Structure 1
Amino acid sequence: MKLNALLLSATLAATSIMAVNAHADNTTRVAATSALGSVAGTAIGKSMGGNTGAMIGSAIGGAGGAAVSANKRDRTGAAIGGGLGGVGGYTVGKSVGGTTGGYVGSALGAAGGSVLGKKVSQDRHADQRSYKKKSKKYRRNHH
């Protein structure tokens, strides 16, 4: 049974990664791949190391799924959000709805976390661009 779960999870993860166009950066795509990665990681981790393994797997899977589908500039933020959301969602889902709730929670947590992390990263880049423009104008006009 553990081997079947492991093979099914690995197949699901590989399929989700292959379905993603690496060059496209779409919020829905980031959320979906992070959710699928988190569920696959949860299943693999649970079969290998119980609840602790499932938590670690959900974090790694959520981060990996988000990183695969996000663009280069926002990859780190999406991965951190996906990982933290996956493990948090698994923990809450497991306490509310058992094993099935853990899988649902990890998927929802990773999806939401990766989108939030991506958005924070994009906002940070926009703020940096705005600051650089203001500082160039200031230097140019006051010399």
Structure 2
Amino acid sequence: MKLNTLLLSTALTVTSLFTMSAHADNSTRIAATSALGSVAGTAIGKQMGGNTGAMIGSAIGGAGGAAVSTNRRDRTAAAIGGGLGGVGGYTVGKNVGGTTGGYIGAAAGAAGGSVLGKKVSEDRHYDQRKYNKKYYKKHRRHNH
């Protein structure tokens, strides 16, 4: 019980420090805030609803942490990745290493998922710009 309280207070403190300067939008910041949000959500969810609550909390915390620290264009993809990674990591970690393993798994899963989601979104935007540039160059005469 004391360990959960300590983890929760530490996670909330560090998360608030990251969210104050969240405009830098780099992968390390996104991974850290998503991981800390997932740990905080897991701890709160576990206190409120046991293992099911912890799974829901890890998903919400991971998604929230990723959304706070990602730019507007890539926010949705990073939040989805952080949420899915958090709940998946918690489930695997809980089965392998108990409660502490669940916290570690939630943090690792949310961090990796949010960065992966951001990268997929950036690649999609790049491909779309590349297609638009090629299309408009080819059909320039017909657009006037």
**Which TM-score applies when normalising by structure 2?**
0.90
Seen in structure 2, the aligned counterparts of structure 1 residues 90 and 10 have a Cα distance that, compared at 3 Å, is same
Query: Contact (CA 8 Å) 1:63, 1:80: kept in 2 or not?
Result: yes
Query: Contact (CA 8 Å) 1:78, 1:118: kept in 2 or not?
Result: yes
SS of 1:72's equivalent in the other structure is: coil
Query: Contact (CA 8 Å) 2:14, 2:36: kept in 1 or not?
Result: no
Give the % identical residues.
75
In structure 2, what is the Cα distance between the partners aligned to 1:131 and 1:70? 25
Seen in structure 2, the aligned counterparts of structure 1 residues 44 and 6 have a Cα distance that, compared at 3 Å, is farther
In structure 2, what is the Cα distance between the partners aligned to 1:45 and 1:76? 23
In structure 2, what is the Cα distance between the partners aligned to 1:86 and 1:124? 23
Match of 1:13 in 2: 12
1:1-143 equivalences in 2 (<5 Å): 1=1, 5=4, 9=8, 12-20=11-19, 21-140=21-140
Report the CA distance between 1:7 and its aligned residue: 8.3
Query: Contact (CA 8 Å) 2:41, 2:60: kept in 1 or not?
Result: yes
Report the CA distance between 1:141 and its aligned residue: 5.6
Structure 1, unaligned runs of 5 or more = none
In structure 1, what is the Cα distance between the partners aligned to 2:85 and 2:115? 10
Query: Contact (CA 8 Å) 1:41, 1:59: kept in 2 or not?
Result: yes
Report the CA distance between 1:56 and its aligned residue: 0.2
In structure 2, what is the Cα distance between the partners aligned to 1:121 and 1:77? 6
Structure 2, unaligned runs of 5 or more = none
**Which TM-score applies when normalising by structure 1?**
0.91
Report the CA distance between 1:140 and its aligned residue: 1.7
Count of paired positions: 142
**Structure 1 segments (4+ residues) deviating >4 Å:** 4-8
